[in-house]
Amino acid sequence: MILTGMGPVDPMITTSAKLFASFYALFSGVAFITTMGILLAPLVHRFLHRFHLEVIDDAPDEPPAAPAARAQPGARTGP
Q: For 42-58, what is each residue's pLDDT tens digit? A: 999 888 788 776 667 66
Distance CA 21, CA 8 (A): 8
Statement: residue 40 has pLDDT above 70: yes
Position with higher pLDDT, 13 vs 9: 13
Question: Taking a C-beta distance cutoff of 8 angstroms, is the pair 7, 1 a contact?
Answer: yes
Statement: residue 32 has pLDDT above 70: yes
Q: Residue 39's pLDDT band (boundaries 50, 70, 90)?
A: very high
Nearest to 27 by CA among 10, 2, 7: 2
The pLDDT, as a whole number, for residue 63 is: 63
Statement: residue 78 has pLDDT above 90: no
Question: Taking a C-beta distance cutoff of 8 angstroms, is the pair 18, 12 a contact?
Answer: yes
Domain ranges, ordered by start, for the chain: 1-7+15-52
Residue type, 15: T
